[in-house]
Every structure is written in C-alpha cells, then in structure tokens.
Structure 1
C-alpha cells in the first residue's frame, strides 16, 4: 500500500475519532443544557402551584376563573392523595399524568420527576414532576408537566446534522490530507526516480533537492553526500584495479620475454643463468606486489592483524640497519640512528615493515645520509622519523603522498610498486597512530609514523624501619 494512502487512512481515522468525539460532546452538552432548562421550568411551575394551593385553597375545584385556568398552555393538576382530580389546567383535565405507584410515593412525601411517553390520550412526550403540597388543612399532590417536543426535535436535528456533516467533513479532510501527503512526498518520488536512473557509467548525477529547508531536503542532501562518497570510493577502487593491473602486467611481460628469449634458440649456460636470475627478480617483484595488495585489502576491510606489545625502538631500528646495510654500502650512503630508550606499543613485525618501507623509499628516491630518529609529539605518542638529504617531496606530491600507486617520480623509472607509503599509513591506522610526509628543516624528505608510547613503570619505594 502506498505511503500516502497509509497516511491518508491514518489521518481519516484520527479525523473520524475527533469528529465523532466532538459531535458526541456537543450532543451531550446540548441535551444537558435542555434538561437543565426544563428542570428550571418544572421547579418554577411546582413553586407556583404550591403558592396557589396555599393562597387559593378554597377556590380549587370550583367553576370559574382561577390560577389554573389562566395557565391554559400548561399541564398542571391538583390531586388528592388517593388520586382524585381536584383541579387542572385545560390541557391536563383529561390526561392521567401520575400513575398509582408514583402517586403513593408522592403522597408519602417524596418528590418524583419522570418522562411520560406518548399514548392514546397524549400526542407528545412530557416531563412530569409531582410534589405534595398543603391546601389549607388538607394535603394535595401538585403535578406539573412540560412538553419535550422542542427538546426532542432539537436533539434530533443536531443528531441528523452530525450524522450527515461528520462523514462529509471526514471525507473532505481526508481528501485534503491525501493532497498534502502527495505534495509532501512528490520530492521523495522525484528522488526515487532519479536514483533508479543513476548508474556507475554516469558519474556526477545527484538527486533533486526541494527548495524548502525541511526534512526531505536534508534527506536529499545526505543521500547526495553518500553518492559523492560512493563515487569517490568507486573511482578509488577503479584506479586501484587499473594500477594493480598495470603493475602486474609489467613484471609478467618481462618474465614472459625472458622465457621466450631463452627458448627461441640455443643458449649458453651463462645466458640461461642470466635469464633465470632476471626471471627470479621479476618473480620476487610479483610476490612483493601480491603481499602489498593483500595488506591494502585487509586494511580496507579493517582486518589488518596487529598484535601490539611493548617494543624498544632501538632494537627495531638496529635490526633494520643491519638488514639494509648491504644496500647502503652498495649505494655509498650513510645511515645514522638517534633513539634514546623510547618504547612504543606496536606489532614488531608490522613496525619493521613500515619503517623498512620508509628506508627503502629513502634509498630509492633520496640522496645523501639517511637518518633514523624519534621524538614525542605531546600526545603521549612517539614519532619515528626517516629523513634524508635528497631533494625532498615536491609541494604537489605531498597531499597525495600516501595514496596507492602514487609516485614522486611520474616516469616510474626507479622501480617500486607505489604502495610503500600507503602500506605505512595502513599500519599506522591499524595501531591507532598517524603518518605524515614533509620537507625537512634543512631540505630533504622527512616521513614519520606516530605510535602510542609505553612508559616504563616507576620504581617502587620501600620504607625500612630500623
């Protein structure tokens, strides 16, 4: 069932309850007001008959003009306690207003009020009140009655008006509610149609947003922001796949070319060994690329496994300097370490991988001395720096330094996969840390990774009493 129809039905149900409740209240209120007016009229008539009985006791029942005759449009009677008619107004002379049972109750001193229905001798409903009065030294029963014709006609007219006008009002209000719901949901329907037409092949399309600054507009703006994030993620994944395909294609092409050349004609043992060495280098490059891609994929899924533990930076950096020593000697580069007993909370293998990537980056793209050092950032974290004396990063490259397959050298002439800094960022993020690349104070590149610091426990003090 459409939402606007459900809203209309709910609105109609609420309106029906409101109209029904209001109509019932008005009806009961009018009935109460009419009953109060009739009760006041009966009370006044009963009091007048009591005065007549007291002041004109000797005239009651005698022919001629008296108070009851003057009340020709009223239903008034004087009865004896046994039910005999003493006197009555013209309208009440041939009508029995009080039955024996109620007569006995009134004769006993009780005042009764009741509604008398229509019958053969009476063409309208009456409301009757009977009360015992004194006429000189004899007791009488004064009976007064008021017609309920206007009372009944008024309530009947009101009931007919409510029964006719109530449903009409509900229908009109429901139609107006349906129109309002349709108008309110029209922007949502427009957004739905546009969303159904948006496809990945047509980037940049957005949902139409209504002008009024209401909830629907905020919904449209939020969905457009989500579409922008999705497009950005899709474009990032597309570039990732394209770059990964390019990176995989290059070593595979080289590997295939080496094998084809080795098989094309007879080769000497030395030439076959050279071909196998070249193939091994390309295979190693493929293995590194596959491992890097796996780290990036796990990081994107938030599942890069790390096992933080207290790690001494001096031990890690010394181990890495020994591992990279042959490459530094081969390139004629110097390496210095400046760490003063700092301890961080990190996964040792992942930390070695991150710092090793930074050292490899400094060897490939930097010049001069490479320096490994650490400092504190004031947020209870330790920053591990890898800096060199080379030309440093260009201002255009710094904002995208940690993006995947991004190289400071666009010609890609120095090897590498373009994933080194991206992996460093992924490892830092997995540890709850941060990374940054910047130009050093004296020139060159300075890349650091910040990790939580572990402070050694304070020595306990023992008090010895002598």
Structure 2
C-alpha cells in the first residue's frame, strides 16, 4: 500500500493537462452521480408513497363495506383494481381478522405468507395505518370496525418497471452528459495548457548568451500574463546581474593586471644586470607598493564576494558610532595632512547595533574618498548624531562635486566617473563606495548622495539606533 507522500508524488509527476482532465472529469462524475442518486431516491420515494396511498384507499373502502355487510362477501373495488394494474402480477389481495384473530374475510387466492399482524396499527395521527414489506410486495394494515384488522397488499411489479426505466434513462442521460463534459474538459485543458507550452518552448530558447530575449505575452488568462511579466522581470534582473558579473570579472582582471605587471616589470628590469643596493631597494619599494595595492584590491573583492554570497557576518554588538568615527579619523589624519586637507568633526555619542570593524571601513572609505576629491587647503566635515530613533553619519567635502550624469552609477563596482583624475590621485579601483553600500545594507541602513558640481559632495549614512531595553523594576521587600 502506497503512502500519502508516494501518492502525492505520483500525482505531481502527471502532466498538467492530465491533472486538469482527471480533476474536471472527477468533479463532473461526482455531480452526475449525486444528481442521479438524488433523483432516483426521490422518485422511488414518490412511487412508493403513491402505491401506499392506493392501498390505504382500498383498505378504507373495504373497512366501510365490511361495516355494512358480511366481511366474507367483501371484495376489492374495481376502481382500485384498475389503479393497481390489469396484469395478473399486479393483482392485489386482502385479509380481515376479527378481534379474536380469526380470518373473517379474504381474497382468493390468499398468498401463503399472509399472517395476522402482531402489532395493532394506530387509530389516529398523521399515519393511521402501518405498513410492511415481503420481498417485492407492499402491505397496508388498518383497524376496521368491531376491532378487526384489515390488510391490503399487492406486488410492486409496475413500480419496479418504472424505477428500472428511470434508472436506464438516468444512466443514458448521465453517459451523454459525461461524454459532452469530457469533450469540454479536454478543450478547456488544452486551452489552459497551450499558453504554458508556448512559454516553455520560448523559455527553452533562452540561454546565458541570449538573456536579452523576452517572452511574448500570449492571449491567455490574467494569471498567465502575470507569470510572463514576472518571468520577464526576472530575466531582466538576471541579464543585469550577469552583465554586472561579466564587467566585475573584467574590471577585476584589469585592476589586478596593473600591480602584477609592475611587479614583473620591476623584477625583470632589476635582474637584467647587477644593480647597486640603492637600486635594489627602489625596485623592492615599487614592488611593495604594487603588492599592497593588489592586496587591498583582493581584500575588497573578497568582501564583495562574501556579501554576494550572503556570508558577511550580521552586526550583533553594541557600539558607539561616534567613537568608531573618531578612531578612524585619527588613522586618516596623516593622509589628510599629506593632501593639505583639514578634517573637522562633530561627533555626538550615538549607540547602534553593528560591527565596529565594518563601520570603521565605511568611515574610512567615505573620508578617504572625500580627501581624494578635495582641493588643497580645503576641509572635510564629518558629523555623527541621532534623530528620531535613527543614527546619522555625514561626510561632506568642498571639492569639485560629482557631475549629474555620474551620480546614478557612483555605487557601482569599479565605476570611476573621472578615470584620469583617479589615476593621478592614485585612488583605488572604484570599489570603496560599493563596499560602503554593502556594509550599510547589512546594518539595515541606507546611503544618500547629495552633490553639486564645483560646490562639493555630501554622503549621508542612516542607520537604526540600538533598541533600548526598558529595565524591569525590582519589587521592594516588605
């Protein structure tokens, strides 16, 4: 015996067309059976009640005749014989018992199974009679005059013929309806499945190199059209992600190629002939700078890869964003002095749930970016504060600003609006703001950019404040 899970798996393996056909035909068959059984039961009850009513009328007429004449001379009235049926199989019979239990009148012949009823029939009420059945015969018993009991019965052969004819008609009608319903169910199943099959064929043509293709909206139900729209949106997202991944790989390869080339060139050039100790030192310093740049790039790539895989550790510690910013600014002070940029700060204690190391990287990337794009003798302003259950980190510079056409793509990986200036400044590979966006998103925050060309840029990080637990008062001792 198969388990429910195996039955469900077997059902799920069937095609959608088969499932629809089976479901619709099962529902139609249940409807036909329910209608047929109900109709047959109601008609059988009506025919039974009709026969019962005729027998009761004949019994009452016999009771009247027996009160006016000798019970032995009583017969069933011709009118009721006609109602019962003219065939010999429909002939009715009757018997009259006295109060002492003796038969005082009966039809001839009387069936051998006839016996005096043990229980007396009721005298009044909605059913002042009783009934009993013997094989295909129905008998009605009433009380007659002088405490007699009168039984009138007959075979229900005519009623059996009517019920069998009704059953044949119901079966024939049910078969016709089932055939018509099966054809309609097949047409409906094909109409439902055809758009899905068309979409399946079209989807099979889409591959990693043809993600620009889209499914066409078929003339189908709103659910199918909605499915096509969702699938097309998914393809758009996949295409965008795939293209971004391709660009990411190409840009990463290009950025890694530069320091590797520097190292190889320096090594080949230095080893081409004997050098002095100073020349060896200069070559090693050049290689060291290239290796450090490559290490920073690899670290950034690993962080972004972990973020894409959902493997960045979620923040779970309580930390002061102002203290994180203060320690990071102290570390960046030498870089600011080298670029002749002054860092001003206004840091208010602001406690959040977060990872201090990751938040320090956010501050470092934002402030470094501001320093690199600030003119000499200018300043970078950093502030930390809280407002309406939100924490804010704001980094503003008075540099040249970001052109409007660059702003929508500023947080894309490896994107550098002014590549020539970036190379001159010796900046990174364009991953700093991408890393900021990933870390801030991990902390359930947002980053907002506001920039005006020739007037400066402001980046605002918004984070949720730490939830403050309400202390439970300790009950005082009596």
Residue of structure 1 equivalent to 2:115: 101
2:349 to 342, 352, 359: 342
Which of 33, 50, 65 aligns to 1:37? It is: 50
- Residue 9 of structure 2 corresponds to residue 15 of structure 1: no
2:398 is the alignment partner of 1:389: yes
Q: How far apart in 2 are the matches of 1:78 and 1:312?
A: 109
1:435 maps to which residue?
Answer: 447
**Aligned counterpart for 1:327 among listed residues 305, 323, 335:** 335
Distance 1:30 1:99 in 2: 29
Which of 282, 285, 289 aligns to 1:274? It is: 282
Instruction: Name the structure 2 match of 1:201.
Output: 209
For 1:130-149, what aligned pairs fall within 5 Å after superposition? 133-134=144-145, 144-146=152-154, 148-149=156-157
Task: Return the match for 1:425 from 437, 440, 463.
Answer: 437
Whether the aligned pair in 2 keeps the contact of 1:97 and 1:128 (CA below 8 Å) is: no
Question: If you compute each CA radius of gyration, which structure gives the higher value, 1 or 2?
Answer: 1
* Gap change, CA 1:101 and 1:248, over 3 Å in 2: same
CA distance in 2: counterparts of 1:366 and 1:4, whole angstroms: 67
* 2:305 is the counterpart of 1:297: yes
Contact 1:372 / 1:384 at 8 angstroms: preserved in 2? no
Give the direction of change, closer, same or farther, for the CA distance of 1:307–1:259 in structure 2 (3 Å limit). Answer: farther
Q: What is the alpha-carbon distance in structure 2 between the residues aligned to residue 247 and residue 351 of structure 1?
A: 25
Secondary structure, in 3 states, of the residue corresponding to 2:401? coil
Contact 1:406–1:418 (8 Å) recurs in 2? yes
The alpha-carbon deviation at position 234 of structure 1 amounts to: 1.6
What is the TM-score of this pair, normalised by structure 1? 0.80
2:160 paired residue number: 152
CA change 1:247–1:139 in 2 (3 A) is closer
Pick from 255, 267, 275 the counterpart of residue 247 of structure 1.
255
- Tell me the SS of whatever aligns to 2:450: strand
Once the two structures are superposed, residues 148-193 of structure 1 have per-residue CA deviations (whole angstroms, 9 ceiling, x without a partner) of: 3321110011122233433443343233223212211222222222
Kindly tell me the number of residue pairs found equivalent between the two proteins.
Answer: 436
Could you say what secondary structure the match of 1:339 adopts? strand
- TM-superposition CA deviations, 1:110-166 (whole Å, max 9, x none): 97645566xxxxxxx7544455645xxx98775544553321110011122233433
* Cross-structure match for 1:405: 414
Bigger shift: 184-193 or 440-449? 440-449
Corresponding position of 1:447: 459
Task: Report the equivalent of 1:262.
Answer: 270
Q: Tell me how far apart the structure 1 counterparts of residues 79 and 238 of structure 2 sit (CA, whole Å).
A: 96
- Please give the alpha-carbon distance, in whole angstroms, between the structure 1 residues aligned to 2:117 and 2:372: 124
Aligned counterpart, 1:121 = none
Q: 1:232 aligns with which of 236, 240, 245?
A: 240
Deviates more, 1:270-279 or 1:449-458: 449-458
Normalising by structure 2, what TM-score? 0.79
Partner SS, residue 383 of structure 1: strand
Residue of structure 1 equivalent to 2:88: none
Is 1:173 the counterpart of 2:186? The answer is: no
Matched residue SS, 1:101: coil
Aligned CA RMSD, in angstroms, stands at: 3.6
- Cα distance in 2 for partners of 1:404, 1:354 equals 15
Tell me if the contact between 1:376 and 1:383 (Cα under 8 Å) persists in the aligned partners: yes
Give the gaps of 5 or more residues in structure 1: 118-124, 459-466
Answer whether contact 2:21 2:189 (CA < 8 A) is retained.
yes
Q: CA 1:33–1:451 in structure 2 vs 1: closer, same or farther (change >3 Å)?
A: closer
Shift of 1:37: 1.0
Distance 2:332 2:373 in 1: 15
CA distance in 2, matches of 1:452, 1:140: 99
Inter-partner Cα distance in structure 1 for 2:148 and 2:260: 128
> Contact between 1:370 and 1:386, CA under 8 Å: does it hold in 2?
no
Query: Which position in structure 2 is the counterpart of 1:60?
Result: 73
Q: 1:53 to 1:402 in 2, by over 3 A?
A: same
The yes-or-no answer on 1:218 pairing with 2:226 is: yes
Deviations 1:13-57 (A, max 9, x none): 333232222212211211111111111111111122222223344
Q: CA 1:293–1:366 in 2, change beyond 3 Å: closer, same or farther? A: same
Using the alignment, how far apart are the partners of 1:237 and 1:39 within structure 2? 87
Deviates more, 1:178-187 or 1:267-276: 267-276
Displacement of 1:335 in angstroms is: 0.9
Q: Report the Cα offset of residue 410 of structure 1.
A: 3.1
The structural deviation recorded for 1:100 is 5.5
Q: What's the offset of the Cα at 1:209?
A: 3.1
1:358–1:421: 8 Å Cα contact kept in structure 2? yes
**1-structure distance, mates of 2:25, 2:221:** 28
